[in-house]
Structure 1
Amino acid sequence: MTDARRLAKSNQEQAVAAWIGHLNQLRLDTLLSGLARQGENLRDALSIIDQAVKKIDLEVVTTNRGGTKGMHGFIAEVAEVGIGNAQRRIAGAEPVYQWVNDNGPVDLLREGVAIQQKFVAAGGRLGLGAITEHLQRYPDYVKNGGRYQIPRDHFDVIRDLHAMTPETAATTLSRSGDGPSLSDWKRVQTFFGSGAVDIDSLEPSHLDYREAQRGAYEETLQSEKDSLKQTDEGRRRDLHDDSRPGLQEGIQATLLSAAVEGGTALVLAVVQKRRDGKKLRAFTADDWVDIAGAAGLGAAKGSVRGLTIYSLTNFTATSSAVASSIVTSAFGMAELANELRRGEIDELQFIENCELFCLDTAVSALSSLIGQTLIPVPVLGAVIGNTIGTVMYQAARTSLSAREMALIAGYARAQRELDESLSADYAQLIDELTASLSDYFEVLERAFSPDVLTAVQGSIELASTVGVKPEDLLDSRAKARRFFLD
C-alpha cells in the first residue's frame, strides 16, 4: 500500500472513530446539562414551597385572616399556588399559578384561566352549595371560562356520584352511615341536572380538605417537598437512562462505519486500477468484481470497526481514537498471521512487522487525540491531527530507517571481519594446544610407566612441565634423601 493510500485509509478510520466519539460526547454533554438544569429545578421548586409556607404564616395565620371558620380557605389558595408552581418547576416548566388575593370572584389565575376555590365542608354538600351561591352572584362566571376548584377528596366523590346510574345508586349507596349516601347522589344529580354547571367546569385541588387546615398545612407542604425530591430523583434516573448507549445508536454507528469504510475501499480500488493505466470505460466484468469485493470487504471491516469502537468507548475507558487503532492493529496482525501460515514470512518477520504495524496505529491514535484537543471541531481536528502526525512520523521513520540500515550494514561488515580474524587466531591456538597436549600426554605416559626408572624420569619431566621450580625437583639421589630422611 502506498503512503497516500495508507494516509487516506488512516484518515477515514480516524474520522469514523472521531464521529462515534462525538456522538458519545453529545450524550454525555446532554446528561451533564440536564443534571445541572434539574439541580436548578429542584432548588427553585423547594424555594417555592418555602415561600408558600412563609406567606401562609405571615399573611394568613398571623393576621388570623378568615377567622376560625374561613382561614383554611386562604391557606388552601396559597398552598395551591405554591404546590402547582413547584410541581411545574420540578419538571422544568415555568410557574403559571398566581394568587389574586383581592376578595373578588376569582381566587387564582392559571395561564389566564380564572379559578374560584371552594373548600367548604359545612352542610355535607361537598362545596356544591357554595358554588351555587357564587353563581348567583356571578352568573356569567362559567360562561366566561371560569372554573371551580374543590378539595381533591370531595371531587373524587362528586365524580363517582355523577357517573353513577340510578340502578347502581339504589343498590350500592346507603341511606345513612359512613360514605356517600343516596341523598348525596340525588344532590349531585340535581346540581348538574340544572345545566348551570358542567362536570368539566370543576377540577380537583392538589389538596384534600383536611390538608388545608390550620395545624396541618406545615406537614402537608413538607410532604410536598419530600414528593418533589422523589420526583427529582426519578427525573435524574430518566436522564441517566436516556444517556446510556443503546442498540439503535450502536446500529447507526455500525452502519455508518460500514458505509464509509466500504465507500473508501471502493474509491481506492477504482483509483488503483486507474493508476494501473485502465480507463473507466475499459473496466471489465472481472475488474468490477474485484472492486465490488474490495468494497464488500471494506464494509465488513467497517461494521466490525463501528461496533467495536462503539462498544469500547461506551463500556470501557477507551477513547475512540485508541479503539480504532486497536481494531486496525487486530486486522493487520490477522493479515500477517495468514502470511505466516502460508509461509510468505518467517516468525522473525512476523514479530517485526507486528511491532511496526502497532507502532503505526499508535502514532495515528496519538496524533488524532492531539489534533482533536488542539482543534476542538468534531472529526476535523482528528483528521488534521492524524494527517500531520502520520506524515511527520513516516518522514522520520524513513530517515531513521535509512540511517539504521547503514549502521546495520557497517556493523555486519565489522562482524564479518572480526569473525575472519578470530577464526584464524582460533585455528592457530588449536594447533598450539594440540601440540602441547601431545607433549603432555607423552610426559604423562612416561610418568605412569610400569618401569620404575622410566616412571621416575617421567615424573621429573611432568613436574617440570606443570611449573615446579628446578630446585624443588627430586632429580638426584641427594635431593631425594634430604626430602624423605631429613
Structure 2
Amino acid sequence: MSKLLKSTQEQAIAAWVTLVNQQRIDALLASCTLQDVHLENALQHVHEAMETISEFVIERNLGGLKGMHGFIAEVTEVGVANAREAIRGNAPASIWVNDNGPTDILRAGAEIQQKFVAAGGTFSLQAIVSHLEKYPDYLERGGTYQVPSDFYASLKQLHGMSQEEATRTLTGDVNGPSYAQWKRVQALFVKSGISIDSIEPSKLEYAQVQRGVIAQTMSGEADALAGVDSGIRAQAYGLSLPSVREAAKVSTFAAAAEGATAFVAAVIEKRRTGVKLRDFTSSDWSEVVGKSSHGAAKGGVRGISLYTLTNFTATSSAVASALVTVAFGVAEQAHRLRSGDITELEFIENTEYLAIDAAVSALSSIIGQAVIPMPVFGAVIGNAVGMILFKCGKDALSRREVAIIQQFAAAQQALDLRLSAEHTRLLADLEDSFSNYLTVIDLAFSPEPQAALLGSVKLAKKLGVPTEQILDSEKKIAAYFLS
C-alpha cells in the first residue's frame, strides 16, 4: 500500500510539473494568436489612412498645393496613432473631425488642432497664435495644439534658451534655428501668453507628410509596426521560458507533497504494528516526523530535477519522474552495499527491480493520461491501475511461474548454442562450395581453349547438367554443330 501511495504521489508531482509547463506554453500560443489579430488591425489602420489620403485628399486636391500637406498630416496622425494603439491591443482613440471647425482631431474626447506651417520661420507658432486669436477659449476648454515633431523640438529649445545662450550658440546654419528665429519665437510666446505645455509633438515630422513622400512614410510605419510586433512576441516568449521563481514553486510543492506522503506512510506503518494513534509515544512521533522531513527533502530535489529535465531536455514528465525515482533508489542501494547490508548480486537485483517498477509507473501514467485526458488525474489513475496490475503479476510470478520461466530460459539458451554451432558449420560448407565454384568458373573462362573446354565440362557437371548433354568429346561436339 505504501509503495503504491509513494508511486502515485511521484507521478502526481510529475503530472503537475507537466501542467505547469503546459500552462506556460498555452499562454505563449494564446498570446501569439492574439498578437496576430493586433498586427492585422494595426496594419489595417495604416492601410485605411493611406486610402483616405489617396482618394479623399490627393484626388480631390483638398487644400490645394500649399495646404494639402496639412490634411495629409491630420489623416496620417489619426491612422498612425490608432495603429500604434492597436499593435498593443488597445482600442483606437483618435478620430479625424474634418469639419473646418477649430478642432482637427479628437483623441479620447480631447480636442487637438494641428498646425503644420513652415512659412514665417516660427515653427508653426505664428499659426497657433492666429488660431487662438480666432478661438480665444480654445485652450481654456482643454484644447491642445500639435506641431511636427521636428518643429516641436526646435520650439522647446528656443523657449527654454536665454538671450545670452542664444547669442552665443545659434548660428542659423542647416543644423539648427537662428538667433532671429529665437527672437520671433520668444516674442510670440510673450505676446500670446501661450505655454509650451499647451503644445505637443506630432508623431510625424514636417517632411514626412508631403504629397510626394507620404506613401513611403506609411510604408515605413508598417515596417515599424512589424518591429514592435516582433518585440511583443519576443517578450511573450521570454515570459514563457522556465524561471527560477517557478522552479522554486515546483520544488516547494513537491517537498510538501512528498513530505505529506511520507508522513501518511509512516503513520500507516506504525499502525500496522498494532499501535493505535492515541498510543503513539514521543519516540514514535519523532520517527514519523523524521521520515516526513526526509521525504520533504527528497521531494524538493525531485521537484527541481523534474523541472530541469522536462524544460531543458527532451524528457517527458513521467519518464523524468522514473529517472529521478531510480536515481534515489540506486543511491540508497549503493549506501546499503557500502554498509555491507547487501551483496553485490543483491545490489544488482534490487536496482533491476527499481528500474522495472519505475518503468511500469511511467508507462502506466502515460497511458492513463492518454485515456483520461484530465490534468494530473489521468496520470494518477493510470499509475495506480498499472502498479496494482504489475504488483499482482509480480507476486504471482514469484511462486511456481518463476521455475517455469527459468526452465524455459535454460532451454532457450541450449537451443541457441546448438543453432549457433549448426550455423557455423553451414557457413563453412557454403564457403567451401563457393570456393570450388569460383575455381570452376575461372577454368571455364580461361583464355586457353583446351583449359576452357575442360572447365566448361566441370562447370556443367557442377551445375547438374545431364552427362549425355555435356559436349565432352569430339564426336559429341561434331554431332551438335553438324547435325
TM-score by length of 2: 0.79
Alignment partners' CA distance in 2, 1:347 and 1:304: 27
Counterpart position of 2:47: 50
SS of 1:122's equivalent in the other structure is coil
Say if 1:173 and 1:388 are closer, same or farther in 2 by CA, change over 3 A: same
Find 1:188's aligned residue among 179, 185, 190: 185
Counterpart position of 1:234: 231
Find 2:112's aligned residue among 107, 110, 115: 115
Counterpart position of 1:292: 289
Counterpart position of 1:84: 81
- The 5-angstrom pairing of residues 305-316 of structure 1 reads 305-316=302-313
Say if 1:403 and 1:89 are closer, same or farther in 2 by CA, change over 3 A: farther
1:377-400 C-alpha deviation (Å, 9 max, x unpaired):
322222122122222222233334
Alignment partners' CA distance in 2, 1:96 and 1:34: 23
- Deviation at residue 337 of structure 1 after TM alignment: 2.6
Counterpart position of 2:57: 60
- Deviation at residue 336 of structure 1 after TM alignment: 2.3
Alignment partners' CA distance in 2, 1:79 and 1:408: 84
- The 5-angstrom pairing of residues 151-162 of structure 1 reads 151-162=148-159
| Alignment partner of 1:200 is 2:207 | no
| Alignment partner of 1:330 is 2:327 | yes
Say if 1:409 and 1:308 are closer, same or farther in 2 by CA, change over 3 A: closer
SS of 1:73's equivalent in the other structure is helix
Alignment partners' CA distance in 1, 2:173 and 2:341: 101
Aligned sequence identity (%): 51
| Alignment partner of 1:14 is 2:11 | yes
Alignment partners' CA distance in 2, 1:40 and 1:99: 24
Counterpart position of 2:317: 320
Q: Please say which of residues 348-357 and 33-42 is displaced more in the overlay.
A: 348-357
Alignment partners' CA distance in 1, 2:334 and 2:341: 10
Say if 1:220 and 1:271 are closer, same or farther in 2 by CA, change over 3 A: same
Alignment partners' CA distance in 1, 2:408 and 2:180: 114
Say if 1:408 and 1:39 are closer, same or farther in 2 by CA, change over 3 A: closer
Counterpart position of 2:133: 136
- Deviation at residue 210 of structure 1 after TM alignment: 0.7
Find 2:377's aligned residue among 365, 369, 380: 380
Counterpart position of 2:461: none
Q: Please say which of residues 310-319 and 39-48 is displaced more in the overlay.
A: 39-48
- Deviation at residue 318 of structure 1 after TM alignment: 0.9
Say if 1:260 and 1:191 are closer, same or farther in 2 by CA, change over 3 A: farther
SS of 1:114's equivalent in the other structure is strand
Counterpart position of 1:28: 25
**Contact 2:263-2:289 within 8 A present in 1 as well:** yes
- Deviation at residue 145 of structure 1 after TM alignment: 1.5
Counterpart position of 2:360: 363
| Alignment partner of 1:164 is 2:147 | no
SS of 1:376's equivalent in the other structure is coil
RMSD (Å), alpha carbons: 2.4
Alignment partners' CA distance in 1, 2:380 and 2:297: 22
Please tell me the residue identity of whatever aligns with 1:324. Answer: S
Alignment partners' CA distance in 1, 2:129 and 2:361: 80
Alignment partners' CA distance in 2, 1:409 and 1:175: 103
Find 2:92's aligned residue among 82, 85, 95: 95
SS of 1:9's equivalent in the other structure is helix
- Deviation at residue 166 of structure 1 after TM alignment: 4.1
Say if 1:194 and 1:375 are closer, same or farther in 2 by CA, change over 3 A: farther
Counterpart position of 1:243: 240
| Alignment partner of 1:353 is 2:350 | yes
Please tell me the residue identity of whatever aligns with 2:139. Answer: V
Say if 1:363 and 1:411 are closer, same or farther in 2 by CA, change over 3 A: closer
| Alignment partner of 1:39 is 2:36 | yes
| Alignment partner of 1:390 is 2:390 | no
**Contact 2:365-2:381 within 8 A present in 1 as well:** yes
SS of 1:405's equivalent in the other structure is helix
1:259-317 C-alpha deviation (Å, 9 max, x unpaired):
22122212322332233233445433433332232122112211111111000000011
Aligned length: 410
Alignment partners' CA distance in 2, 1:34 and 1:320: 25
**Contact 2:310-2:316 within 8 A present in 1 as well:** yes
Say if 1:199 and 1:404 are closer, same or farther in 2 by CA, change over 3 A: same
Alignment partners' CA distance in 2, 1:202 and 1:342: 84
Find 2:255's aligned residue among 245, 258, 264: 258
Query: What runs of 5+ residues in structure 2 fail to find an aligned partner?
Result: 412-483
Alignment partners' CA distance in 2, 1:383 and 1:252: 21
- Deviation at residue 184 of structure 1 after TM alignment: 2.9
Say if 1:376 and 1:193 are closer, same or farther in 2 by CA, change over 3 A: farther
Please tell me the residue identity of whatever aligns with 2:260. Answer: G
Say if 1:340 and 1:82 are closer, same or farther in 2 by CA, change over 3 A: same
- Deviation at residue 136 of structure 1 after TM alignment: 1.9
Counterpart position of 1:428: none
Alignment partners' CA distance in 2, 1:172 and 1:18: 70
**Contact 2:129-2:192 within 8 A present in 1 as well:** no
**Contact 2:370-2:378 within 8 A present in 1 as well:** yes
Alignment partners' CA distance in 1, 2:115 and 2:138: 14
- Deviation at residue 174 of structure 1 after TM alignment: 4.0
Alignment partners' CA distance in 2, 1:176 and 1:388: 86
Say if 1:382 and 1:409 are closer, same or farther in 2 by CA, change over 3 A: closer
Alignment partners' CA distance in 2, 1:407 and 1:357: 23
Whichever of the two has the greater Rg, that structure is: 1
Say if 1:91 and 1:268 are closer, same or farther in 2 by CA, change over 3 A: same
- Deviation at residue 208 of structure 1 after TM alignment: 0.5
SS of 1:123's equivalent in the other structure is coil
